[in-house]
Chain A
Amino acid sequence: MNIQKLVNLLIFLIFLIFSKVNAKAEDLTINVNGLIFKNPQIVYKDVNSKMVAGYFELENTNNFADKLLSVKSDIFNKIELHNTKMNDGVMKMYKIDSGINIEKNTSLKFEPGKYHLMIMGVNKKILEEEYLLSLYFQKSKKIDINFKAISMKNKLEMDHSH
């Protein structure tokens, strides 16, 4: 290997390391047995909100499909899986009782106006801290994930600055 090639390889490696560091700084990623949870967030309108939404990105790196069946928590009374569909400019939100499939080697985004967790019965003030939710999968069974609570204002500003 000549010196030029070695330099190129070094530059490539440095670039790789830096891009990994940057990715870490921006995204919170949790890998549990091949299921990767990215930026799990609970988003609230204000600290007194009685109803909040949960968003995250889920990637299934396993070579088998799985299904998110339900989400539970000791802190919140009720958590439902929801989806929203737009028809002729009208948003229609509906509850999903049968679970959400996540095919092998695919990812799924829970985000405003699409799949989301609808968290009801919030009985105390929401603070910008982490809340533990238990996600139940058909194959991966129970997975506990900490969701970071963030105000809608901060989320919109954050999304805007990216």
Chain B
Amino acid sequence: MRILKNIIFIISLISILFIVTSFIIQMNLKKEKNISLGEKDLSKVILIDFNNNPIKASDLLKNPSVFFFGFTNCPDICPLTLTKLSITLQKIKDDKNLIIYFVSLDSERDKPEILKNYLQSFKEEVIGLTGSEYNLKKFADYLNIKYYKRKIKDSYTIDHTSSSVLIFKGKVYDKILFDDDLNVSVKKINNFLSHIN
């Protein structure tokens, strides 16, 4: 009888432990899911657009938009990605005011007027953004964009995430990878736009 009681006690203990552990895991998963980008406070992060206007980072994430981070001295990844995004925008069925943002991670060299000049060839299809190092870092971290400044001889380059992020109401819907061709990019953007309806 005593043995049976012990067995029941152990089984009960294991069950309680199992329930508590499951509950904790569930809570954590829920918490993880609930961390949508919109809930983090970005209102204090201010970026500067290529017309020298300050913009709250939180306002930037409200509309359907594509964000690509780079720098104007980037030899092929950045111009190719921006060109691809610009062509893609022309090919999609309904742009629904989709905005393409190019965020320069090079606050030292890429002043608003340099960005403006660099993006001129895209005929206002791409909006340039820059800001202080602190604000850029906050914004990039927020969108999980990684970048590292690397010294080369008497200058420097910036290694950075090569994909573009599709965002609406603070939520990341998809990413356009550097390797994605025009077909894939168009498909991803059309898919994104149909989901935000």
Q: Do A and B come from one complex?
A: yes
Q: Spell out A's residues near B (CB within 8 Å).
A: 43, 45-46, 48-49, 51-53, 82, 84, 86, 88-93, 95, 112-113, 116, 118, 152-153, 156-157, 159-160
Q: Is B98 an interface residue (CB 8 A)?
A: no
A48 to B150, CA, bound (A): 26
Task: Select which of B157, B178, B183 is within 8 A of A113 by beta carbon.
Answer: B178
Identify which of B79, B152, B159, B161 contacts A152 (C-beta below 8 A). Answer: B79
Contacts of B83 on A, CB cut-off 8 Å?
A: 45, 152-153, 156
Which residue of A90, A116, A156 contacts B148 across the interface (Cβ within 8 Å)? A90
B75 lies within 8 A of A90 (CB): no
Residues of chain A within 8 A (CB-CB) of B77 are: 84, 91, 93, 112-113
Closest Cβ neighbor of B79 among chain A residues: A45
| Additional 9 contacts, C-beta under 8 A, given A86-B178, A93-B157, A157-B87 | A43-B76, A51-B73, A90-B160, A112-B76, A112-B80, A113-B76, A153-B86, A153-B87, A156-B84
Interface flag for B132 (CB, 8 Å): no
B162 close to A91 (CB less than 8 A): yes
The CA-CA distance from A49 to B80 in the complex, in Å, is: 13
Q: Identify which of A46, A53, A89 contacts B163 (C-beta below 8 A).
A: A89
In the bound complex, do residue A90 and residue B146 qualify as a contact, i.e. CB atoms below 8 Å apart? Answer: yes
| A82-B178 CB under 8 A given contacts A46-B121, A91-B159, A160-B183 | no
In the complex, per-residue mask of B137-155: 1 if CB is within 8 Å of any chain A CB, else 0: 0000000001110101000
Give the chain A neighbours of B183 by CB distance below 8 A.
160
B39 within 8 A of A: no
A to B contact number (C-beta, < 8 Å): 73
Give the secondary structure class of B's interface: mixed
B85 to chain A, nearest CB (A): 10
Tell me the B148-197 residues at the A interface (CB within 8 Å): 148, 150, 152, 157, 159-163, 178-179, 181-183
Contact call B181/A90, Cβ cutoff below 8 A: no
B159 & A93 in contact (Cβ 8 Å cutoff)? yes
Query: Given A53-B76, A90-B159, are A95 and B182 neighbors across the interface (CB < 8 Å)?
Result: no
8 example contacts (A-B, Cβ-Cβ < 8 A) are as follows A90-B147, A91-B159, A93-B75, A116-B76, A153-B86, A156-B80, A156-B84, A157-B87
Chain B residues whose C-beta falls within 8 Å of the C-beta of A45 in the assembled complex: 79, 82-83, 121
B-side contacts of A159, CB under 8 Å: 181
Query: A118 is contacted by which of B75, B86, B146, B148 (Cβ under 8 Å)?
Result: B75
**Binary flags per residue of B95-138, CB closer than 8 Å to A gives 1, else 0:** 00000000000000000000000001100000000000000000
Q: How far is the CA of A90 from the CA of B150 in the complex (A)?
A: 13
**Chain A hits for B121, CB < 8 A:** 45-46, 48
* A contact residues around B150 at 8 Å (CB): 92
